[in-house]
Amino acid sequence: MREYFFPAVLFHAFRGRNCAEIMNKGKANGDFTERRRRIMLKLALIGKDVSKSDSAKMHTFDLKELGSGCTYELISLAKEDFDSCVKKLLAEYDAFNVTIPYKLDIIPYLKELKGDAKTFGAVNLVKDGIGYNTDGEGFMLMLKNNGIETAGKKVLVLGAGGAGRSVVKKLSDAGAQVFVYDLKTENAQELQREFGNLKVVEQLSPEDYFMIVNVTGVGMHKTEGRSPVGEDILSRCEAAVDLIYVPRKSEFLRIAETLGKKIVNGEGMLFYQAYYGDCILLGRDPDAAEAKKLFEEYRRKFAD
């Protein structure tokens, strides 16, 4: 089947007609935007190992509820295949998501960074060769909907990678006192130079943090069953948040729960960042109440 592009949408349904005809007809009828939203989008997720990702399920659900649809591929990608794969995605797909460890590697391939992607220097969504980042918005909405308020409170973030950048900046902007630890101290120091309002932790020791956030990835895939910190560190916090959602309860969260702490996994963040990204794809304004309602419906539909 031949495919026509306008703009960044695959017009499977209009084979044999050019984009100008479709656009003019839509304008004449006053419904071009609605026609575009109902088109099936060709999407994908790239990362080192995305075999267990729920992204396809979430985006398919979201877009259907928002009046559109998609095909969504999960592409686990070795470093040596990154260049050729990205070029193919940019040429043949409407948009694609980016996850660990490629949120910074993707930037040289893009024409422009917008919004939080420009602020964070990390990308989780590419559309029309433009990089976006919806991680931070998804993270903060997840905290809000779990009743966690961080303004004026001490928060320890474990990890200074792509996701860590967005988490750190959003927490800092929300008034939290942010502390960052990374096995490579220079990574945390780089964030400090860029964002300023945070403190680097060079060596972990028990402290009275309100919340500890794991953005390291330790606890999933080959490191499942491990935690980046032990009871000594978690014993003095009030809440533990892990961006991991497979397994649903990581070792990090299991330890925290055993200690009586409030725990939150990363499923909500993944869903909300997907929702914000889908709004970008459809050219619509996001709505926090709508996002929360959709997540509740999603969880009811796909309850374990």
- Residues 94-135 have pLDDT tens digits of 999 999 899 999 999 999 999 999 998 889 999 999 999 999
- Residues 13-58 have pLDDT tens digits of 333 333 333 234 444 444 545 445 457 999 999 999 999 899 999 9
- Residues 243-269 have pLDDT tens digits of 999 899 999 999 999 999 999 999 999
Instruction: Tell me the mean pLDDT in the region 4-21.
Output: 33
Q: What is the pTM of this model?
A: 0.81
Which 3-state string (H, E, C) describes the chain? CCCCECCCCECHHHCCCCHHHHHHHHHHHCCHHHHHHCCEEEEEEEECCCCCCCHHHHHHHHHHHCCCEEEEEEEECCHHHHHHHHHHHHHHCCEEEECCCCCCCCHHHCCEECCHHHHHCCCCEEECCEEECCHHHHHHHHHHHCCCCCCCCEEEEECCCHHHHHHHHHHHHCCCEEEEECCCHHHHHHHHHHHCCCEEECCCCCCCCCEEEECCCECEHHHCCCCCCCHHHHCCCCEEEECCCCCCCCHHHHHHHHCCCEEECCHHHHHHHHHHHHHHHHCCCCCHHHHHHHHHHHHHHCCC
221 pLDDT band, cuts 50/70/90, is: confident
Q: Which residues participate in catalysis according to the annotation? A: 103
- Residues 128-181 have pLDDT tens digits of 999 999 999 999 999 999 999 999 999 999 999 878 888 999 999 999 999 999
Domains located in the chain, CATH noted: 39-133+269-301 (3.40.50.10860), 138-265 (3.40.50.720)
